[in-house]
Amino acid sequence: MAEGERQSPPASSEDTPPAPQNFIIPKKEIHTVPDMGKWKRSQAYADYIGFILTLNEGVKGKKLTFEYRVSEAIEKLVALLNTLDRWIDETPPVDQPSRFGNKAYRTWYAKLDEEAENLVATVVPTHLAAAVPEVAVYLKESVGNSTRIDYGTGHEAAFAAFLCCLCKIGVLRVDDQIAIVFTVFNRYLEVMRKLQKTYRMEPAGSQGVWGLDDFQFLPFIWGSSQLIDHPYLEPRHFVDEKAVNENHKDYMFLECILFITEMKTGPFAEHSNQLWNISAVPSWSKVNQGLIRMYKAECLEKFPVIQHFKFGSLLPIHPVTSPSSPRSGQSRSTPGCSAAQWGPGGVCCSHRFPFPCPVAFPGVGAVALHGSVSQAMFGWASGGPEGRRLRLVASLGWGGAGGGIGLSGR
């Protein structure tokens, strides 16, 4: 058995279809800023955060070249993404006066819009065919906006929601969690980067130099988790061209940095100031925790992003249901269940979720579910570049013992 493989659950549990469910076409539910409270209290929010954190824990300390199980469902998802890639080759950009937002993207998207359910049906088994229309909506939402010809973290979140839905209906299993990130999501990133370059897509809601990245966020979270406890690569090394070139094939975070440097010119500290600030953080574990906080504050708690999110039966808008009494290993104030409450096949008994609840990982779940980040951390005060970096890492709780930053070797 390969190093990263894990024992599969008994066949009787693996082959048991989920309980019957009435699937619905997802729709928008967040129409005004006050509606954001519904989102943050929703089952969708809790399940989405739990999914992100479970994968974050699953890839901790592992290279992209780590040996892991690749199931048939993972292979089918890669084939789906390969189809999207092939359609880009078949739909070349058109000549137009405008430099950005090539209109050929709309032709490409129209093909996906027409074929999305057929593509998803190749991944979902026949006994779950009723789920296809609901799940396909998230796939269509994950590749950008055909009107504005832009792409951003909201579209990336839709793809994560697409994968989360496949987990909730049992297509993807607990043994797939490493492959979900390293194989499926990594392939998705490749296709999205090709879309961005081929059709010169605009960043959706970009904060420019003050944003983490024009297009992505999740690969920085999962990529920083990969690098936790690395024997020699520290956060300060990702702004070193030599270190990036030598290690980008093993780590998603460094692959993202390489893509940024290929697409942008000028000093890194100028075109990617937020990332340059983060390079001053003393450890990858602090980077990872800080990025989770930042993802909540800058993506999941921003109305311009979440107003486009769609809710159905798999990711519902209704409030999260809490157990009436605490279970073993679980407090009344912490939603979810501990690893001891996983049901057959790794399914969480309280959420029907095929991955551990975030509270199964002490500290990590608390950061994402209960941690809050002051918006002041994004307001830059005077004091020069190093002063701004110190303020960022201090406001994120990224400093070392006594708040030390550790800029030696910079």
pLDDT digits (tens, 9 = 90+) for 80-125: 999 999 999 999 999 888 888 899 999 999 999 999 999 999 999 9
pLDDT tops 50 at residue 312: yes
Closest CA to 117 of 131, 133, 94: 133
- pLDDT at position 263 is 80
Q: Token pair of 286, please? A: 């602090």
Q: Token pair of 27, please? A: 């729709």
In 25-131, alpha helices (H): 36-40, 43-58, 72-90, 104-121
Give backbone dihedrals phi and psi of 291, rounded to 5 degrees, phi first.
-70, -35
Contact 160, 139 (CB under 8 A): no
Provide mean pLDDT across the span 121-144. 96
Q: Which residue has the higher pLDDT, 232 or 342?
A: 232
Closest CA to 73 of 7, 14, 6, 147: 14
Q: Token pair of 206, please? A: 């970009």
Q: CA-CA distance, 4 to 70, in Å (whole number)?
A: 10
Structural domains present in the chain: 30-311 (1.20.120.1150)
- Per-residue pLDDT tens for 269-307? 777 778 888 888 889 999 999 999 989 988 899 999 999
- Per-residue pLDDT tens for 345-379? 334 433 444 444 443 333 333 333 333 222 222 22
Q: How many CB atoms lie within 10 A of CB 372?
A: 8
Q: CA-CA distance, 229 to 213, in Å (whole number)?
A: 24
The dihedral through the CA atoms of 306, 310, 314, 320 has a sign that is positive
Contact 280, 390 (CB under 8 A): yes
Provide mean pLDDT across the span 158-174. 94
Contact 311, 25 (CB under 8 A): no
Long-range contacts at 318-324 (CB < 8 A, ≥ 24 apart):
318/42, 318/43, 319/38, 319/41, 319/42, 319/43, 320/41, 320/42, 320/43, 320/45, 320/46, 321/43, 321/350, 323/350
pTM, two decimals, is: 0.78
Give backbone dihedrals phi and psi of 353, rounded to 5 degrees, phi first.
-115, 125
Angle, CA 330 vertex, CA 325 and CA 334 arms, to 5°: 90
